Amino acid sequence: MMADEERYVKLAEKIFMGESPVIRQLFAAIAGPEEAEALLAMPATTASLAEGSGRSVEETQSMVDGLYRKGLVFKKETPEGTVYRMCRDIMQFHDATILWPEAPRSYLDLWQRYMEEEWPAFSETVEKMLPRPVTRIVPVSESVDSRQQVLAFEDVRRIVENSEPIAVTNCTCRLIAHKCDRPVEICLQVGKAAAYSVDRGTGRAVDTEEAIALLRKAEEAGLVHVTMNRAGESHFICNCCNDCCMTFPMLIDRKLKMCDPSRFGCVIDEETCTGCGDCLERCFFGALTLDESRGLMTVDAEACMGCGLCQVVCPEGAVSLVEVREQDFIPG
């Protein structure tokens, strides 16, 4: 067996984070020496992991099941049996292990330390490497003008109506940062991602009705819907705040292109707007300004991300979203 420190450096290297001191500490906090050895030997079946380890297949299976519950391994059925592989990158390590049901507070605090000390610089590197952001904002369904064409995968209501199964999980960002009191059990997983989260014990299965009620709860709490930035595909609907979220502060404060806008932009009807100001604090992106002399709200089209949260609170029905980007804006 290799020395402890070396083992955890190798695990960090396996997710391309060998230079990160905090990622090494995170691995040391979640995986014991034998678990770390097994992770380094993956991908593998339980039988091959047991071979020469001094553990029976049953003992090895119990260890691997524990690693699966922790979010460190994923499984795939093959003709040779179930093959286990380690989380492949920092995003899987982050998203899966923060939801480890038995995670001690110290583990979550260590992740928050990573987000504060290392994540901003890492985000800058990732932003330069990726051709397009991996996530995209999806508007509040009712906020889009009814004359606009909305594709099925850019309509949160239709995403959940067309998906089976659906599960709700905790928001990993608010779980570790707890900087605001917005809902935590609010992120929706759909299809395979939902089945995985229920199987692992990190998600709670919900029906379409409850999923839609959760979307409404998110909108009322001022959370922005975010999904995968790929046409025709959605594995999750994140509901993001502007303080705990790993992405929005990078986008808002550092101007990093970490999340694409929706294809829609906000329009305020000058005849109907009374300038009450209710929508102002709903906008995370600084796109709204109250023109006091004219008594109405104005929109900076460049800054608007097309989330539709301002529409949710407008008592006059003065806000609607219209198409401002072509359909091919969403990567295929």
Which residues of this chain interact with ligand SF4, rule CB under 6 A?
171-174, 187, 238-241, 244-247, 266, 268, 273-279, 282-283, 285, 287-288, 297, 299, 304-310, 313-314, 316, 318-319
Contacts of 71 (CB under 8 A, 6+ apart): 87, 93, 95, 96, 97, 98, 99, 100, 200, 202
Complex with ligand SF4: residue 17 or 266, whichever CB lies closer = 266
Q: How many residues does the structure list for the chain?
A: 332
Kindly state the smallest distance separating residue 78's Cβ from ligand SF4, in Å: 31
Complex with ligand SF4: residue 161 or 316, whichever CB lies closer = 316
Complex with ligand SF4: residue 190 or 245, whichever CB lies closer = 245
CA distance 88 to 43: 11
Kindly state the smallest distance separating residue 202's Cβ from ligand SF4, in Å: 12
Contacts of 129 (CB under 8 A, 6+ apart): none
Kindly state the smallest distance separating residue 6's Cβ from ligand SF4, in Å: 32
Pairing of strands 319-323, 166-170: unpaired
Complex with ligand SF4: residue 22 or 241, whichever CB lies closer = 241
Complex with ligand SF4: residue 13 or 145, whichever CB lies closer = 145
Kindly state the smallest distance separating residue 241's Cβ from ligand SF4, in Å: 6
**Structure tokens of 309?**
């949260």
The backbone torsions φ and ψ at residue 314, rounded to the nearest 5 degrees and listed phi first, read -70, 115
Kindly state the smallest distance separating residue 155's Cβ from ligand SF4, in Å: 15
Kindly state the smallest distance separating residue 177's Cβ from ligand SF4, in Å: 8
Kindly state the smallest distance separating residue 265's Cβ from ligand SF4, in Å: 7
320 beta partners: 267
Kindly state the smallest distance separating residue 210's Cβ from ligand SF4, in Å: 17
Complex with ligand SF4: residue 40 or 267, whichever CB lies closer = 267
Complex with ligand SF4: residue 19 or 253, whichever CB lies closer = 253
Complex with ligand SF4: residue 34 or 124, whichever CB lies closer = 124
